[in-house]
């Protein structure tokens, strides 16, 4: 397993390792949106990824990298989101157990999804400390290998494969790539993907105003934790990881923030125009275009759509 | 223009004529749905078609077939649905005006879409007689060429290209194709597409119980008009066309009907699992699987997703 930031070849290796178990997701376009915004948009649709989000890339990569010894007691993590499903699925593919610590208030649809993939769920109080303590106990009891959702170089190498595919599938080089940021797994991977495979492309991170720890961290040059985040973009609540932050500092041009209203409006535009189902976090980059936080006029703009797991009974429009 | 039912070459010609102006829509799959239903499903996603529905195929074909003389005063139709948008768009591509008679209660989102494509809208009372009378007046005043949404052989030839693409993009021959039926434009086209390009594939038409005129017509062997249809599948309300019906009688194995609850449930399953936005009419074929009206076990099943134009503010779940 990688002990330092992934190199070019590490990303190629990750791509080869995971490709059998993930989807090469489509890059979709909309001539109507292009004409409204005077730009060329390329949507990399990780909502069509296995288990509904890019997280399957990292989870598969790590699970299949484990030695027989490391894998023999399974894997564990705490997550109420897409990492939980992705890890449970990856473990099932490898034929090992997975233990997922979830907060007791996790949405039933997410609990069901983890169970469907054969994950063993352990519920805990809905706060970070309870999650970490419970995971520690589970880890000790089971001897399972702990898989962090983003603060891990092999996870980062695998998340980089999404933008690598996007680059390969675009007819010309992207001028800009817009990527949402939560813990920074996708963003740091995207940063390295661009660095190695499309140098010259500008990378702009997009974050909800209500969870602007990456914006603050980027400005300050040190990790500012995410305290009491409040946004509909439930995949972007966490603090940046130690391994992710330096990669982001070195390779991201800027972090822009967007309001809740634009996130919801963008989500609806994506449903209406692209005819795809995305979760709120996926709408954050488009919201940056809507708010004119990024000048996309006459540019080729890649947009990473991170996932499509959303409670359809609670759509905000 | 065709004066009798399209032959093999007519469909090939239509495909060549329209391909520059329409999307070759993707065929999407879901391993989860396949495993739940013990089958192999291939979704032909015409929700990703230009103007959001398969109707763009027929409209483009007809508009580009018109002679300069026929086209010089534009085209006209009455429609509150996808045909309106598709025709307005096709006319704009050819650079001729379009006059669309729409009922005064048409959803604003559909009115906006037609206007966006440059269509001139003429509102009328929301009943069939007012629509027909108003269209007649508009047609006389403007000299525009009237384009029927489905009872037209060139429209049928073009709608056949959707299943032709599906057949080309499947790895093996489909055992069954499931297709929704309203006026019969898509169904009669699909029937001919299968007859010429995948003989041996069984074609089953799927219809809401609340608008079961095709079921009754098929049983009786003559067109039974659609009287007071009542279904959420608003694309499937109309009666079968004179040119469509004989093609359907000759080439469709059976017509099955499904209830409203299954249509809504299917719609949600498609959103949740496929991560795509579809209109209620598009969910009708999957509802036939849900209701076990068709035995799909261990079969390769093509499903025509007809369109994705839906009022997101009024989703039924």
pLDDT in tens, A9-57: 999 999 999 999 999 999 999 999 999 999 999 999 999 999 999 999 9
Contact check, Cβ <8 Å, A271/B47: no
In tens, the pLDDT along B4-49 reads: 999 999 999 999 999 999 999 999 999 999 999 999 999 999 999 9
Distances (CA, A) of B167 to A17, A28, A190, B170: 32, 22, 36, 5
Task: Please compute the mean of the pLDDT values over residues B281-308 and round it to a whole number.
Answer: 98
Contact check, Cβ <8 Å, A276/B275: yes
User: Which residue of B26, B268, B313 is in closest CB contact with A312?
Assistant: B268
pLDDT of residue B107: 83
B1, part of any domain: no
End-to-end Cα, chain A, rounded Å? 44
Contacts of B312 in chain A (CB under 8 A): 268, 271-272, 315, 317
B217, part of any domain: yes
Whether the per-residue pLDDT at B171 is higher than 90: the answer is no
Do A118 and A92 form a contact (C-beta atoms < 8 A)?
yes
Q: How many interface pairs between A and B have CB atoms less than 8 angstroms apart?
A: 43
pLDDT of residue A80: 81
Q: Where are the beta strands (DSSP E) in chain A?
A: 27-28, 40-45, 75-78, 98-103, 120-124, 145-146, 176-180, 202-208, 254-258, 300-305
pLDDT of residue B80: 81
Task: Please compute the mean of the pLDDT values over residues B59-71 and round it to a whole number.
Answer: 98
pLDDT of residue B225: 96
Mutation target to probe the B interface, by most B beta carbons within 10 A, among A272, A314, A317 is A272
B138: closest CA among B89, B162, B102?
B102
In tens, the pLDDT along B175-191 reads: 999 999 999 999 999 99
pLDDT of residue B31: 92
Contact check, Cβ <8 Å, B277/A271: yes
Residue of B nearest to A35 (CA): B116
A1, part of any domain: no
pLDDT of residue A108: 85
A191 band by pLDDT with thresholds 50, 70 and 90: very high
A50: closest CA among A138, A161, A132, A151?
A161
Q: How far is A305 from chain B (nearest CA, A)?
A: 12
B2, part of any domain: no
Does residue A259 sit in the same domain as residue A119?
A: no
Does residue B171 sit in the same domain as residue B45?
A: yes
pLDDT of residue A106: 87
Read off the tokens for B74: 């534009």
Q: How far is B71 from chain A (nearest CA, A)?
A: 25
pLDDT of residue B92: 97
Does residue B300 sit in the same domain as residue B269?
A: yes
Q: Packing angle between helix A153-169 and helix A55-65, nearest 10 degrees?
A: 130
Which range marks the domain in which residue B302 is found? Answer: 8-54+152-314
Does residue B18 sit in the same domain as residue B156?
A: yes
B3, part of any domain: no
A2, part of any domain: no
- Over chain A, what is the mean pLDDT? 96
Does residue B165 sit in the same domain as residue B285?
A: yes
In tens, the pLDDT along B258-268 reads: 999 999 999 99
The whole-angstrom separation of Cα B21 and Cα B89 is: 10
Does residue B200 sit in the same domain as residue B111?
A: no
pLDDT of residue A200: 96
Q: How far is A275 from chain B (nearest CA, A)?
A: 5
Task: Please compute the mean of the pLDDT values over residues A261-268 and round it to a whole number.
Answer: 98
Does residue B229 sit in the same domain as residue B124?
A: no
Residue of A nearest to B45 (CA): A275
Contact check, Cβ <8 Å, A277/B278: no
User: Which residue of A26, A48, A312 is in closest CB contact with B317?
Assistant: A312
Structural domain count, chain B: 2
The whole-angstrom separation of Cα B81 and Cα B201 is: 30
Whether the per-residue pLDDT at A107 is higher than 90: the answer is no
pTM (2 decimals)? Answer: 0.96
B268: closest CA among A84, A263, A310?
A310
Contact check, Cβ <8 Å, A275/B315: no
Does residue A95 sit in the same domain as residue A178?
A: no
Whether the per-residue pLDDT at A128 is higher than 90: the answer is no
Q: Lowest-confidence range among A244-248, B53-57, B126-130?
A: B126-130
Distances (CA, A) of B203 to A34, B152, B263: 38, 21, 20
Do B236 and B185 form a contact (C-beta atoms < 8 A)?
no
pLDDT of residue A208: 98
Q: Lowest-confidence range among B60-69, B157-166, B307-316?
A: B307-316
User: Exposed (0-12), middle (13-18) or buried (19+): which is B231, by Cβ within 10 Å?
Assistant: buried
Residue of B nearest to A273 (CA): B52
The whole-angstrom separation of Cα B133 and Cα B129 is: 6
Distances (CA, A) of A181 to A84, A293, B235: 18, 15, 40
In tens, the pLDDT along B191-239 reads: 999 999 999 999 999 999 999 999 999 999 999 999 999 999 999 999 9
Does residue B164 sit in the same domain as residue B264?
A: yes
Contacts of A277 in chain B (CB under 8 A): 271-272, 275-277
In tens, the pLDDT along A265-300 reads: 999 999 999 999 999 999 999 999 999 999 999 999
Do A71 and A96 form a contact (C-beta atoms < 8 A)?
yes
Contact check, Cβ <8 Å, B48/A28: yes
Looking at B125, B146, B167, the residue that finishes a domain is B146
Does residue B142 sit in the same domain as residue B281?
A: no
Task: Please compute the mean of the pLDDT values over residues A221-245 and round it to a whole number.
Answer: 96
Residue of B nearest to A109 (CA): B272
Contact check, Cβ <8 Å, B312/A315: yes
The DSSP secondary-structure symbol of A300 reads E
pLDDT of residue B191: 98
- pLDDT-above-70 percentage for chain B: 100
Does residue A169 sit in the same domain as residue A41?
A: yes
A3, part of any domain: no
- Over chain B, what is the mean pLDDT? 97
In tens, the pLDDT along B71-118 reads: 999 999 999 889 999 999 999 999 999 999 999 988 888 899 999 999
Residue of B nearest to A309 (CA): B272
A252, part of any domain: yes
- The DSSP secondary structure of A75-144, one letter per residue, reads EEEE-SSHHHHHHHHHHHHHT--EEEEEETT--HHHHHHHHHTTPEEEEE-SSHHHHHHHHHHHHHHH-P
CATH at B282: 3.40.50.1100
- For B215, residues 6+ apart whose C-beta sits below 8 A from its C-beta are B207, B255, B256, B257
Does residue B135 sit in the same domain as residue B171?
A: no
Mutation target to probe the B interface, by most B beta carbons within 10 A, among A85, A277, A309, A316 is A277
Contacts of A32 in chain B (CB under 8 A): 116
- pLDDT-above-90 percentage for chain A: 95
Q: How far is A49 from chain B (nearest CA, A)?
A: 10
Mutation target to probe the A interface, by most A beta carbons within 10 A, among B21, B50, B265, B275 is B275
Looking at A146, A170, A204, the residue that finishes a domain is A146
The whole-angstrom separation of Cα B288 and Cα A312 is: 22
Looking at A89, A119, A146, the residue that finishes a domain is A146
Q: What is the ipTM of this complex?
A: 0.94
Contact check, Cβ <8 Å, A275/B272: no
């Amino acid at each position: 397993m990688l002990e330092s930031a992934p190199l070019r070849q590490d990303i190629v290796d990750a791509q080869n390792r995971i490709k059998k178990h993930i989807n090469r997701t489509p890059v979709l376009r909309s001539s109507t949106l292009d004409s409204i915004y005077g730009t060329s948009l390329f949507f990399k649709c990780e909502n069509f990824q296995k288990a509904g989000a890019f997280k399957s890339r990292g989870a598969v990569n790590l699970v299949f990298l484990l030695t027989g010894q490391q894998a023999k007691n399974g894997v564990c993590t705490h997550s109420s989101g897409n990492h939980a499903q992705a890890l449970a699925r990856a473990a099932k593919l490898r034929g090992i157990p997975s233990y997922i610590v979830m907060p007791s208030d996790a949405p039933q649809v997410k609990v069901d999804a983890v169970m469907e993939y054969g994950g063993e769920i352990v519920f805990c109080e809905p706060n970070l400390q309870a999650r970490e303590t419970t995971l520690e106990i589970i880890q000790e009891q089971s001897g399972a290998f702990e898989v962090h959702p983003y603060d891990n170089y092999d996870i980062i190498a695998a998340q980089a494969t999404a933008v690598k595919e996007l680059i390969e599938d675009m007819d010309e080089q992207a001028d800009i790539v817009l990527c949402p940021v939560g813990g920074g797994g996708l963003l740091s991977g995207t940063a390295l993907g661009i660095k190695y495979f499309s140098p010259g492309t500008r990378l702009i991170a997009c974050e909800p105003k209500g969870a602007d720890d990456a914006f603050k961290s980027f400005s300050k040059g040190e990790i500012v934790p995410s305290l009491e985040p409040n946004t509909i973009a439930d995949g972007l609540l966490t603090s940046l990881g130690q391994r992710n932050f330096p990669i982001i500092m070195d390779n991201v041009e800027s972090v822009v923030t967007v309001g809740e209203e634009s996130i919801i409006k963008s989500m609806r535009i994506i449903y209406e125009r692209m005819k795809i189902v995305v979760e709120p976090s996926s709408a954050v980059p488009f919201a940056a275009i809507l708010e004119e936080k990024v000048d996309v006029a006459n540019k080729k703009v890649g947009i990473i759509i991170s996932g499509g797991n959303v409670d359809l009974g609670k759509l905000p429009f």
